[in-house]
Amino acid sequence: MVTATIGMISSYRGLEKRIDWLWQQTPHPLGIWGNMQMQAPAPKPDFLLMYQFDFYQPPQQKSWWNRIRKQQQTPEVNIENLLRGVNKERIIYLLREPPLEEVLDITKYNYQQAQKFCGYVSGPDDFAPTPNYMPAIWYHGNSFRELNEMPPPEKVSPCSWITSGINRTANHRQRLEFLQSLQTSGIKFELYGRNLPAWAKTSGELVNKWYGMAPYYYNLAIENYSDNNWYVSEKLWDALLAWCLPIYYGGPAAEKLLPPGSFLRLPSLDEKGVAYIREVTATPDAWYAAKNAIKEARQIILHKLNLLNWLSEFVDQHA
């Protein structure tokens, strides 16, 4: 029986207005998972999730959202008015963006402010009040039941990479330099994404990431950040849920969350990395060898790492 409603606020534009946010991550109707129901805009929820919420910055500062995406300055608002009457111990703050050097001051400021209003404050970095892995969300349009029950889809091409042309931090620029090296190497892979530089040979943008992953044996899952023990993002979850074998570049968190053999570790973003991709993608052998591990990893993502499962467990502990 559903006992709790969870509302949500976020600085991701338009997200908190979506009544169906995360509903594709449960087999049950209307966002129900276990003892709770996800209802982002609920006016009087039992619990409130502050999901990558940027607190007002003084004029001399800019939030992560504004600095990286060049949006308007975060307006000053009365935070109490956003909390919908939820008690502090039932307010959850989850920060999900990586702790890049360029925005460390903003991240720390968000944590400082969050502790004034939230009973639980967490993020994927060592200086978070509660350092922890990000609960999993994914960006496929498939239903939970379809993802849970499907066999591997037909694989017809070696490798894909879905990325963007963001270049405002050193980590983003390193990724673009590696992309350029990979494209000039002659290795066969399909590139999808938005705002990519003019020199990139791209197959175009995708509305649904599934179509840029499911037909491929391998997917390049390259994080924007790899320098701590906590950060791992949907890049890995999306690839595995599409039954790809990820060629992964990121921190060590992935090994702690997923079974051995469910992804391959890209050694570096340089010539050594290019050579590794060339060797692996030359045949589908590694994918066939990893099928059982991929199957196991998919179940862990869907049932254990799932943000809805995480929220349900939080409700159990704080009801």
Residues 194 and 111 placed together within one structural domain of the fold: no
In a domain, 310, yes or no: no
Give pLDDT tens digits for 184-200.
999 999 999 999 999 99
In a domain, 268, yes or no: yes
Contact by Cβ (8 Å): 192, 160: yes
Residues 96 and 17 placed together within one structural domain of the fold: yes
Most distant pair of Cα atoms in the chain: their distance:
58
Residues 73 and 29 placed together within one structural domain of the fold: yes
Is the four-CA dihedral 220, 221, 227, 228 of positive or negative sign? negative
In a domain, 314, yes or no: no
In a domain, 138, yes or no: no
Write the single-letter amino acid at 273. Answer: G
Average pLDDT over residues 127-154: 97
For residue 310, is pLDDT > 80? yes
Residues 95 and 148 placed together within one structural domain of the fold: no
Predicted pLDDT of residue 76 = 61
Instruction: Categorize the per-residue pLDDT at 109 as very low, low, confident or very high, splitting at 50, 70 and 90.
Output: very high
Predicted pLDDT of residue 57 = 64
Instruction: Categorize the per-residue pLDDT at 75 as very low, low, confident or very high, splitting at 50, 70 and 90.
Output: low
Residues 202 and 247 placed together within one structural domain of the fold: yes
Residues 203 and 150 placed together within one structural domain of the fold: yes
List of residues 6+ apart from 263 with CB closer than 8 A = 221, 236, 239, 240, 245, 246, 247, 248, 254, 290, 297
Predicted pLDDT of residue 97 = 92
For residue 65, is pLDDT > 50? no
For residue 72, is pLDDT > 60? no
Tokens 């169906």, located at residue: 20
Instruction: Categorize the per-residue pLDDT at 2 as very low, low, confident or very high, splitting at 50, 70 and 90.
Output: confident
Residues 155 and 282 placed together within one structural domain of the fold: yes
Choose between 233 and 17: higher pLDDT: 233
Residue 138's φ and ψ, nearest 5 degrees, are -140, 170
Please give the residue range of the domain that contains residue 227.
Answer: 144-304
Choose between 138 and 67: higher pLDDT: 138
Give pLDDT tens digits for 166-178.
888 898 999 999 9
In a domain, 291, yes or no: yes
Predicted pLDDT of residue 180 = 95
Choose between 73 and 78: higher pLDDT: 78
Residues 198 and 123 placed together within one structural domain of the fold: no
- Which residue spans within 165-212 are E strands per DSSP? 190-194
Residues 10 and 95 placed together within one structural domain of the fold: yes
Domain count, the chain: 2
The share of the chain scoring above pLDDT 70, in percent, equals: 93
Q: Which of 103, 132, 161 is the last residue of a domain?
A: 132
Instruction: Categorize the per-residue pLDDT at 13 as very low, low, confident or very high, splitting at 50, 70 and 90.
Output: confident
For residue 64, is pLDDT > 60? no
For residue 70, is pLDDT > 70? no
Residue 45 per-residue DSSP state: -
Instruction: Categorize the per-residue pLDDT at 73 as very low, low, confident or very high, splitting at 50, 70 and 90.
Output: very low
Predicted pLDDT of residue 16 = 83
What CATH number is given to the structural domain containing 149? 3.40.50.11660
For residue 153, is pLDDT > 80? yes
pTM: 0.93
Residues 154 and 274 placed together within one structural domain of the fold: yes
In a domain, 311, yes or no: no
Q: Which of 97, 132, 167 is the last residue of a domain?
A: 132
Residues 205 and 248 placed together within one structural domain of the fold: yes
In a domain, 38, yes or no: yes
The share of the chain scoring above pLDDT 90, in percent, equals: 86
Residues 212 and 264 placed together within one structural domain of the fold: yes
Predicted pLDDT of residue 59 = 54
Q: Which of 71, 99, 132 is the last residue of a domain?
A: 132
Predicted pLDDT of residue 66 = 53
